[in-house]
Amino acid sequence: MIHVVFERRLGRLAVFGPDGRLWHAVEASGDAGRDGPRAPYGPGFPIPPGHYRLIEQTEYEPATPEDGPGLIYVDDVDTATLQRLLGAGRARMRGASVEIARLVVAVGELARCGRSAIAIRGGGPSLAPPEDPLAPYQRLTRGDGGVRVHNADLARLMQILGPQYGTETIVFTVLGDPPRLTI
């Protein structure tokens, strides 16, 4: 199992190998640009804390302002994946939550919140000149509810994770609630 952990409070996304050792860590943001009646986790809002899985990635050549060099797709942990993790001793049920790598959070949060098409991406379409959404280390802007990383970091993450799809389960854990906006 590869474990990717997004710590919202620290603004960090880290990749851990099958042996639990840190492979790579990057700056990340989970800020989303929406407000309204579906808060805090509906479509367009921040991704809820929980365990998910990374299912595939798409590389763009050339990179796009919306996503940078590509997308890494996030989905709920499905029943078959959860059973494999439980059977291998990589996960434990803790009431309605699941413990993976000593982190106890929910599963199935995307479906529960009416969400789909969540991704880890680069880019930043709201950046205006002289800022460049295609710069290697562009400013991390609000997105549509996924996780945004720097373009150079996304390219490296895609190099690291690309060979793992199909051979390893890649668990994506989101920790921490987003800050509440008050007016």
Q: What is the mean pLDDT of each run of 10 residues along the chain (183 residues)?
A: 96 96 96 66 85 97 96 96 96 95 93 89 92 96 91 98 96 84 49
pLDDT for res 183:
47
Residue 18, in any domain of the structure: no
Residue 2, in any domain of the structure: no
Whole-angstrom CA distances from 175 to 14, 50, 157 are 12, 7, 19
Q: Which helix (H) or strand (E) holds 55?
A: strand 50-64
pLDDT for res 32:
82
pLDDT for res 143:
84
Residue 150, in any domain of the structure: yes
Q: Which helix (H) or strand (E) holds 18?
A: none
Residue 90, in any domain of the structure: yes
3-state secondary structure 106-161: CECHHHHCCCCCEEEECCCCCCCCCCCCCCCCCCCCCECCCEEECHHHHHHHHHHH
Residue 93, in any domain of the structure: yes
Residue 157, in any domain of the structure: yes
The total of structural domains in the chain comes to 1
| Domain region containing 66 | 30-169
Report d(CA 160, CA 162) in Å as an integer: 6
Residue 92, in any domain of the structure: yes
CB 15, CB 157: distance < 8 Å: yes
Residue 24, in any domain of the structure: no
